Amino acid sequence: MPFSLARGSCGIFQNSRHMPSLVASSGQYVSFAHRVLWDSAQRHISLAAEHPENSWMLHLSAGLLGAAAFEAYVNYVGAEILPQLWAEERRFFAQPQYRGTAGKFKRIAEELGYLAPPKTHRPWVGWLELVSLRDKLVHARLKRDQYRVVHQVGSLPRLPSTWLYREAPAEKVIQLMHYAEQLALEMHTLIRKSEFQSVVFGSHPFVGALGFGTHSVEKVG
């Protein structure tokens, strides 16, 4: 029988005997947003080393991603440990003592029997600084400067800097991310020693598999 375009441009579906078999694939997949974000931050830092001319801006991006990774981690473990509270997240965490990511961290710490770090705890302070930087990046405003500098003829005055350039140099962003990592690791270690140890995977909150899942295949019809 000659091939017919009406039956397919290559003529492979001439009759039902040659129709392909159908199967259904199903399963579930869990993707760890906190690890994806942290990995993205580390890639930005690596790119900054390869491209010094873009280093500062790449570090700014890394800082934003690092802060988002910490928040994602807190939401991940919170939803697993305290699902009833995270189901009413907007209402419960609107309370002054539990507001924001810091409030969520505090509530999880309470469930673990762990007092939230004092304000002098360097990883805690450093993480709060990273959150402050994140807020400035997300809710950015125009920077205006007026200046008058007395200087010698032939010398250049110290002029106003680019927005955030002096406030958040690359070295400081790296340091703040390190503190955030330390703080997340402290909580991660506590969870691994608690009744909720099955909630977390691996010895590090941000390093390891980006997700996991199941997959099965069955015939259709």
Residues 12-29 as b or e (16 or more Cβ within 10 Å = b): eeeeeeeeeeeeeeeeee
Report the distance separating Cα 133 and Cα 1, nearest Å.
Answer: 72
* pLDDT tens profile 59-75: 999 999 999 999 999 99
57 falls within a domain: yes
49 falls within a domain: yes
Number of structural domains in the chain: 1
10 falls within a domain: no
Q: What's the CATH number where 102 sits? A: 1.20.120
* pLDDT tens profile 156-167: 888 889 999 999
* pLDDT tens profile 76-114: 999 999 999 999 999 999 999 999 999 999 999 999 998
40 falls within a domain: yes
Bridge partners of 213, per DSSP, are 29
213 falls within a domain: no
Residue 88 is predicted with a pLDDT of 94
> Please, what is the average pLDDT of the chain?
90
Of all residues in the chain, what percent carry a pLDDT higher than 70? 90
* pTM summary value: 0.84
Residue ranges making up the domain that contains 94? 31-150+163-194
217 falls within a domain: no
